Copies of this chain bind each other. A is one copy, B any other.
């Protein structure tokens, strides 16, 4: 069987997809009897493409040359961003084509509309490459766990931030040093804000929420914190306490109640997700009846991501579709109603009575302390005090912390990082 595709967007992933399709075409044909033919390449940013020329492939800067081509079965959208990618996908579906995309930002914000259109047109949208690059996570959830209820999701969904946190701990450097090293290595972009502030993780979490629960959260309503306030100090103290700090995407469903959030989190070193190093991604799922599952692999990079793009092209061509979820109604848990344990670090004047003041405030809000460590002793200087609390309500914790930060013996702001028991 021959299937014809058009690829829009010749960035990293687009070029790697062309290369992988050429390199592994006989392998794919051998395994599936499918021949994938690239009918054309498009990149709106340029009028000529050396890359297309070297690969002896037709090139256009006008995406509609591909979208309107009746010979093309599947449009591969690798442009990224909302516009014009959204319109490309809409028009491709309307023209009766299947779509493969790696565009998490677009799907997180307009997925409901796009999947509804695909269903109406009886066409498919493959999006394996949009979450955790090379990991076949979308197919695992939608097909492998088709008869399972997912209760909890914990994900390291962004390689850049994981690399930065990992490097800080490993090389004992601060955030800005680790970031600039990541930029030098091409792991972080020149403008890394979407990664650093957790928004990329949030977009992927919205997609996982749809897949696992049939629920599209509104991205702007999900509690989201990035990693720029994590200091080396916190990473080292957490390690002493047998924890690593990871930027986690978290979702928990209990009956009709759903809790979705993104923030730096202390993870016990006993859990394999704490061992996810460098720019790797991982997703841990707690399910019924399949139990706990963990998927681990590269989350980005042209070559790795191209394998997911191609697996979608193949699946869709062979009608081995990812089954889509019907939407479900749930009640979202408000961030201030979260209950977790907390790591808190105060910078406190080293004088008698400070610890008592702090403890009194915590007690007043019903927060009980599991452990306290004072790191050094230096008279008349601010020294770090690290506390691990028992489970408490976020609202109480925030109020207590505001009070504590008002004490003259405390240098605000104090650090607060949530702890999850995976």
Residues of A within 8 A of B (CB): 16, 20-21, 24, 27-28, 30-32, 128, 134-136, 139-140, 142-149, 214, 270-272, 275-277, 280, 282, 287-298, 301, 303-304, 306-308, 310-311, 314-315, 318-321, 323-326
Contact = CB atoms under 8 A, between A and B. Distances in A.
B276 A303 contact: no
Contacts of A289: 16, 20, 134, 303-304, 306-307
Contact of A27 (B149, B307, B308, B321): B149
A329 to B, nearest CB: 13
A13 to B, nearest CB: 11
B27 A311 contact: no
A140 B135 CA distance: 9
A50 B376 CA distance: 68
Given A24-B149, A27-B147, 4 more contacts: A135-B293, A145-B311, A291-B304, A292-B297
A321 to B, nearest CB: 7
Nearest to A138: B144
Dominant secondary structure at the A interface? mixed
A296 B135 CA distance: 13
B303 A291 contact: yes
Nearest to A32: B323
22 contacts: A24-B149, A31-B146, A31-B214, A134-B290, A136-B139, A139-B144, A140-B140, A143-B143, A146-B315, A148-B307, A270-B275, A271-B275, A272-B272, A289-B304, A289-B306, A291-B298, A291-B301, A291-B304, A293-B296, A294-B296, A315-B320, A320-B321
Contacts of A32: 146, 323
A135 to B, nearest CB: 6
A272 B287 CA distance: 21
Contacts of A140: 136, 139-140, 144
A189 to B, nearest CB: 20
> Which of A270, A288, A289, A304 has most B Cβ within 10 Å?
A289
Given A30-B326, A289-B303, A291-B303, A311 B143 contact: yes
Contacts of A293: 134-135, 295-297
Contacts of A324: 31
A303 B288 CA distance: 8
A27 B275 CA distance: 34
A324 B320 CA distance: 13
Given A143-B136, A147-B27, A320-B319, A298 B304 contact: no
A272 to B, nearest CB: 4
A304 B326 contact: no
Contact of A298 (B20, B292, B307): B292
A315 B306 CA distance: 24
Contact of A310 (B146, B295, B308): B146
Contacts of A282: 294
Contacts of A28: 146-147
A302 to B, nearest CB: 8
Contact of A323 (B16, B31, B307): B31
Contacts of A31: 142, 146, 214, 323-326
Contacts of A142: 31
Given A146-B31, A318-B323, A320-B143, A290 B297 contact: yes
Given A31-B325, A292-B297, A297-B293, A310 B147 contact: yes
Nearest to A141: B136
Given A272-B296, A318-B323, A320-B320, A311 B139 contact: no
A317 to B, nearest CB: 11
Nearest to A29: B326
Contact of A307 (B134, B145, B308, B318): B145
Contacts of A271: 275
B297 A297 contact: no
